[in-house]
Amino acid sequence: MSDVSVDGREEGLMSEFSYTNLILTAKEKALNGEKLDRESIIALLEIDPDSIDADMLGMAAREVAEEVTGNRASVWASIGVDYKKCAMNCDFCSFGQKWGLIAQESERSAEEIIELTDRFVSQGARWVTLRTTQFYGFDRLIQLIKDIRLAVTGNYEIVVNTGEFDEEKARKLAEAGAQVVYHTLRLREGKDTRFRPEDRIDTLRSVRDSPLNLAYLVEPVGIEHSNEEIADIFLKGMEYGAILSGAMARVPLPGTPFAGSDQLSERRHAQIVAVTRLAAGHHTPDICVHPPSRIAMEWGANVVVVETGAVPRDTGNCDCEWHGFDMVTARDYFENAGYVFYSGDVD
């Protein structure tokens, strides 16, 4: 590997460098409010996920999570609003029109979404995400946010996960009652997707320059993605001020171009999450893992996703929580990982 920079020093090849020192230095920097440089992030990602060094990495990340979050963990609830074919045809998404996986299009009503939001909030969800397809009407989304705010009380945050938009639309989202936008520059954007990377970045810039906060995961991670690619995508989120980061593993779906691809191992997924925890430190206090992973939570993730409705990582429209992972199960995962559940409303 190339030289790595730790504490401003060139340490030479990793064969001459202790992973222990690298991990301990990364932990110290995270606790001191410093961000890790690209070379150190890559070096941490090069650790064998099945090694004792990876266990040490995970332990260090969990200790940082305890300090940064006050040992609190939260649920990110996500509602798939519309189940419709999308002409963008991203290689990893079941909604792609080209893949022919959606036989019957459908959309949840405002009443259904309000009912789901109320249920998630009453069960302690800290965030409720409205996940729409790329071309869902913006004015309709604004009205939906307003309707939810009027109908569902509580100290929760509304997140939008929708198509591209400019700064004016970002301001309108905030005025309607949204607080967070989930948006990323995906791995191999423009190759595995039909989006121009610069358009995705324009939206990230619009969020940064608005009252909205940015949530941004490294995704969708597959076994083919290099440590350098992962580091660069993570750092792009830091550049645009993400307040939540982490990693989402790709789900190889039958009928898509990634059908038959190997799934990222749980320990590799957890390792990437642990590195984001150490690399972000106090700058990005909430670190999410998706799909849920006990190991990743033990290695520093303090946010998991409970989702329902249209899920781009599935070939159907979920009437209940995806893969049965509900709020009760999420709380159980938190407890087993040693966290205190936090809804944003009640400590």
For residue 176, the model assigns a pLDDT of 98
For residues 38 and 231, give the distance between their C-alpha atoms in angstroms, rounded to a whole number: 6
| CATH architecture, range 70-341 | Alpha-Beta Barrel (3.20)
Question: Where are the domain boundaries for CATH 3.20.20.70 in the chain?
Answer: 70-341
Q: What is the pLDDT of residues 63-79, one digit of tens each?
A: 999 999 999 999 999 99
Give the pLDDT of residue 346. 47
Report the pLDDT value the prediction gives residue 323, as an integer from 0 to 100: 84
pLDDT digits (tens, 9 = 90+) for 36-58: 999 999 999 999 999 999 999 99
Give the confidence band of 16 by pLDDT, cuts at 50, 70, 90: very low
Q: Say what the pLDDT of residue 37 is.
A: 96
In this predicted structure, the answer to whether residue 168 has a pLDDT above a threshold of 90 is yes
d(CA 157, CA 173): 12
CA-nearest of 283, 276, 325, 320 to 304 is 325
Tell me: pLDDT of 96 over 80: yes
**Alpha-carbon torsion, ordered 220, 225, 230, 233, to 10 deg:** -60
What pLDDT does residue 140 have?
Answer: 98
pLDDT of residue 315: 82
Percent of the chain with pLDDT over 90: 90
pTM: 0.93
